[in-house]
Amino acid sequence: MNTAKPMTARKPCSAVRALKLLRGGRAAEPVQRALIWAAALTILAGPPTPVAGAETDLSGEGITMITDFTPDSPDLGWYVQNDNVMGGRSKGGFKLSEGELLFAGSTNTNGGGFSSIRTQRFKLDLSACDGIRLRAKGDGRRYIWQLQTNARNRGYPVSYWADFDTVAGEWTTIDIPFKTFVPNFRGFELDGPELDPREISELGLYIYDKKDGPFELRLQSISAYAEGEQ
């Protein structure tokens, strides 16, 4: 698994073409049996439909902002999925306040061993960008950022994972290049397909570091960046 470490600021994308939030089925993250349950819910829910007025120009000064958790940011419809879908004992959730998202809980490797939060499905073209940028304060544990597209493996959604490290108690800017995201199915790495930034349909945040104990990660913003000319 690739690891993205805190990096210095780079030139941002000049624009994001469009963001269209969709309601309907929730895509599944392939962690063992959890994928089967969640994917089944997605299929039963049927195709998502556009939400009127959701298209938003997200261009900004300095970075291409996806959300900074302020009232002017799009409502991405975050929800929780922990390992209890497969009989696990981890606990986790999130709290939104103006300008911040708190993801916290406790992992238990006696079954599953993960906690996650994800967004509802949407459409986001990030083909002008090179990666995801997080402004985060963590606890020293390793987390996973998830992206999802329309890619499928045997009819099930394929998720794209990239690890990133946090510094305990410190706000850091973390750049996660698109090229480091690895396709996953049922928790196993795949040879492909590669991530297509034109078709981002879901964001997710995981803790799945095979450790027991409390965790806490705060996010101030989620954005996309471009490296610019070398």
pLDDT in tens, 102-154: 999 999 999 889 999 999 999 999 999 999 999 999 999 999 999 999 999 87
pLDDT at residue 14 above 70?
no
Spell out the alpha helix ranges (H) of the chain.
33-45
- DSSP line for 117-151: EEPPPEEE--TT--EEEEEEEB-S-EEEEEEEEEE
Sign of CA dihedral 218, 38, 194, 162: positive
Can you tell me the mean pLDDT for 192-220?
A: 96
145-197 pLDDT, tens digit each: 999 999 998 788 899 999 999 999 999 999 999 999 999 987 789 988 999 99
Per-residue confidence (pLDDT) for residue 85, from 0 to 100 = 77
Q: Name the nearest CA neighbour of 207 among 68, 106, 76.
A: 106
Q: In the 8-state DSSP scheme, what is residue 178?
A: G
28-81 pLDDT, tens digit each: 333 444 444 444 444 333 433 232 222 333 444 336 899 999 999 999 999 999
C-alpha distances in angstroms, 162 versus 1, 72, 126, 134, 139? 7, 28, 17, 13, 18
**3-class DSSP state of 46:** coil
Q: Where are the beta strands (DSSP E) in the chain?
A: 3-4, 19-23, 49-50, 64-67, 79-82, 91-97, 100-107, 115-118, 122-124, 131-137, 142-153, 156-165, 171-177, 182-185, 188-189, 202-207, 213-225
Q: Which CATH architecture has domain 3-220?
A: Sandwich (2.60)
pTM of the model: 0.77
Q: Name the nearest CA neighbour of 207 among 91, 120, 126, 127.
A: 91
